[in-house]
A and B are shown apart, each in its own frame.
Chain A
Amino acid sequence: MTINTLAKGGCHREQMACFRKMEKVIVAMQDPDMGMKMRNQRLLITVIPHAMTGHDIIAWLTHKYRISEEESLHLGNMLVKYGYIYPLKEPRCLVLRPDESPYRFQTPYFWTSTRWPASELDYAIYLAKKNIRKQGELMEYEKERYSLLHKRINHTWDFVVMQAREQLRASKQRRKADRIVLECQEQAYWLINRPPVRSITLYCIQLYCNSDYYKREIEACRKALGRNRVKSSICLEGFLKYSEQYLNHDPIMQGCLPSNPWISDDTAHWTMNAEIVPVPTRLRVERWSFSFMELLNDAMGRREFMTYLEKEFSAENLYFWQACEDIRHGESSKIVEKVEDIYKNFLAPGAARWVNIDSKTMDKTLEGIKRPHRFVMDDAQMHIYFLMKKDSYPRYLKSDLYKNMLAKAIVPQETKKSVFPFMRRQRHSSPSPAQTATQAAEEEGLAKGAGANSAAGSHF
């Protein structure tokens, strides 16, 4: 569904798929063996055949699709709303009632999808018939439309009136029950499909399928054909492992301690898990062991890891990585200056924080620095990242530093449910990140460079 359709008012592309699906349901409902049991319904003094009650519709949907009654009611309502089933009592109220109210299937001739688009001419004939049959039977909006149509398609008005008279004459020759059924069907159709007052709307579907497009597609396909793929059995196991590993960390699946703030109105969970806290929670520290990314993405985790690296005299790796990230995600205007800084601090011979990169990567990077761009540090950054990941990170997880952190970590107590459950807690507001940032900026004056306001920095 694109805005082009929405802005210009047409939804038919999106709707056609829905109509097909609804029609499948309707056809199943009318299946001679497994479909609905229909009976005759009394409407005033006439007996209408092949009708059903709202209650029956819901029961059938509930049984067939193995869903709840609430969902059946919802689905049934859609079928009524789009005209596949229409009510015999109160025909203008397109709602499915879960009671003995009678309903009928709309004939396929009158399905929206069959007769799309509803033409003004047909609508005019319908209104003319109503007008002729019983003067003054038209509703307010119908009267308005009728006069509007009279103006718009005035040139064919004789045809309209003639057709209306013909159709009325033909219908008089039908049996009364049939006539009523047909009138109901027709009325139901027009309730839903009456053409709007606005005139023809142009609808352009943009398709950018020129030769460039196909050339690109062909190139992409060729590349894709040569790609290395992994067997499904291996990939899919990965999903199982991931979901299992993170199960306890998923508040919607397992709840969270001390309580979910949205449910209990208590923000303790957020306070305990703020960006920087004196003692982190156990779950949080455990998560650092799931992957190197998890450790680096957590400000406290990163800080701890830095402390560890300092002890190992390899902190320059993490500083370097951070500086590279800052270039990649920072302002275009600062790239040149930042690249120079990195060279001075990390790559130049005798640099204060010289990083140990293999000679091939180093040569390539030094060459690239001559014409600095956003991704010039990528190779070097990758090299150092994987160095930390394969070497320092696993050792960190085995270190006392980490183990102590884990041992000290808090396991919050679950908040006992309030004795007075109907008393709602006060919901306190929190300082806006916009505010703390403004204050921080004011306090610090000029930012100190890469470290202070790093790309991923936040103040929560």
Chain B
Amino acid sequence: IPMQTYFILSYTQVKIQSPPTPEMATQEVPLNETLAHLKTESETLKSKLEEERAKLHDVELHQVAEKVEGLGQFVMKTRRTLKGHGNKVLCMDWCKDKRRIVSSSQDGKVIVWDAFTTNKEHAVTMPCTWVMACAYAPSGCAVACGGLDNKCSVYPLSLDKNENLAAKKKSVAMHTNYLSACSFTNSDMQILTSSGDGTCALWDVESGQLLQSFHGHAADVLCLDLAPSETGNTFVSGGCDKKANVWDMRSGQCIQSFETHESDINSVRYYPSGDAFASGSDDATCRLYDLRADREVAIYSKDSIIFGVSSVDFSLSGRLLFGGYNDYTINVWDVLKGTRVSILFGHENRVSTLRVSPDGTAFCTGSWDHTLRIWA
């Protein structure tokens, strides 16, 4: 059992004498007057916004869902265990072929697996540790990854056993702090990234050119997800400032913002129709935000669930929400009724990443216990 250890910490400018409250953790440097003014104005407007949002909220989701049949007993098991990483698995993504995945870990290794046979097909060693982000290209011919190197690099997947994948590596994105998430857009040609530097950015893969940058988070951005909408122009991001922002990819503007979580947002994922998205946070809750109603419409939490959510995803129909938690478990939620349908045990350390497969037949989890599991 790992022993809990604590480091004696001090902020660069503020020396801590007593245990920190969550508020203290985001204590800012003393503000000058104009800044204080702006801050007050911003906060006043925000409360006004919350009032406006509340006006049209005439019913709760679980009330509307009363007429829906409840879900029966839920049986999901680990169907595959992928062993091969030498350290914490931090991220994974599915290939469009519904059976291959790419995963990345703390020791810098990025592995492409055929999850069905559990065979490893490719492996790359990144020059940095903590590869927190990885993504499979829509064509299945390349993977993107990055982490503490502040970059996002694309590796074309070669089947020549003798070829060193690292040789063909292409550096695409450059941030000024760690890369927390990355995703290809509809093609292999563009990548969307989020970073510890507080921004998201859209890049042209071929030239490495920055196409658009997205400013609006007040702290590290930890996650992002592209909207499955008809016009395909928006994405959502979540950060350490407890905010979830919806962005217009064309203009770079933040078009909607939600701030109801009590702690860092580790994961955001769109509802399959694109009309809403779910978020998972260190405050141990998952929440659902409706984009047309412009508000939070559901909270998925339980008194016995104490540890933060690292990763969330919906089942194909959007009826179920899967959450990977820091207490090694996976909780399955009935999205409509707001109840916890099932809890899955199996991992021996924190679940760091969770994705449902493209055809919804299974979901994959990656964990700090060095393994990945496929559940169905």
Contact = CB atoms under 8 A, between A and B. Distances in A.
A253 B59 CA distance: 26
A295 to B, nearest CB: 12
Interface string A199-217: 1111111111111111111
A70 interface: yes
B1 A434 contact: no
- Category for how many chain B residues contact A: 35 or more
A232 B360 contact: no
A399 to B, nearest CB: 22
Contacts of B260: none
Given A218-B42, A332-B206, A382-B231, A191 B116 contact: no
B159 interface: yes
A262 B157 contact: no
A12 B250 CA distance: 38
Given A65-B304, A204-B12, A331-B206, A118 B6 contact: yes
Nearest to B319: A243
Nearest to B303: A65
Given A13-B22, A14-B282, A201-B8, A432 B157 contact: yes
B3 interface: yes
B100 A432 contact: yes
Contacts of A231: 56, 58, 293
B164 interface: no
B79 A262 contact: yes
Interface of B: 1, 3-12, 16, 19-22, 25-26, 28, 34-35, 38-39, 41-42, 45-46, 48-49, 52-53, 56-61, 64-65, 68, 76, 79-80, 95-100, 114, 116-119, 121, 130, 132, 138-142, 147-148, 156-159, 177-178, 180, 185-187, 189-190, 196-198, 204-207, 209, 211, 215-220, 222, 228, 230-232, 240-241, 250, 254-257, 262-264, 266, 271-273, 275-276, 282-284, 290, 292-295, 297, 302-304, 306-308, 310, 315-320, 326-329, 335-336, 343, 345, 356, 359-363, 374, 376
B141 A437 contact: yes
A432 B159 contact: yes
Contacts of B207: 331-333
A232 B65 CA distance: 13
B171 to A, nearest CB: 16
B105 to A, nearest CB: 13
Contacts of B100: 432-433
22 contacts: A2-B240, A14-B326, A17-B284, A61-B304, A70-B343, A78-B327, A204-B11, A211-B34, A217-B45, A239-B61, A239-B65, A260-B376, A261-B99, A263-B376, A270-B99, A330-B187, A332-B207, A375-B250, A432-B121, A432-B157, A437-B141, A460-B140
Contacts of B42: 214, 217-218, 221
B354 to A, nearest CB: 13
Interface of A: 1-4, 6-10, 12-14, 16-18, 21-22, 24-25, 61, 65, 67-68, 70-71, 74-75, 78, 81-83, 93-95, 112-120, 191-196, 198-218, 220-225, 227, 229-240, 242-247, 249-253, 256, 260-263, 267, 269-270, 273, 292-293, 325, 328-333, 374-375, 378, 382, 385, 427-430, 432-435, 437-438, 455-460
Contacts of B68: 240, 243-244
A216 B223 CA distance: 21
Contact of B52 (A83, A198, A225, A233): A225
Nearest to B376: A262
Chain A CB within 10 A, most for which of B304, B329, B359: B304
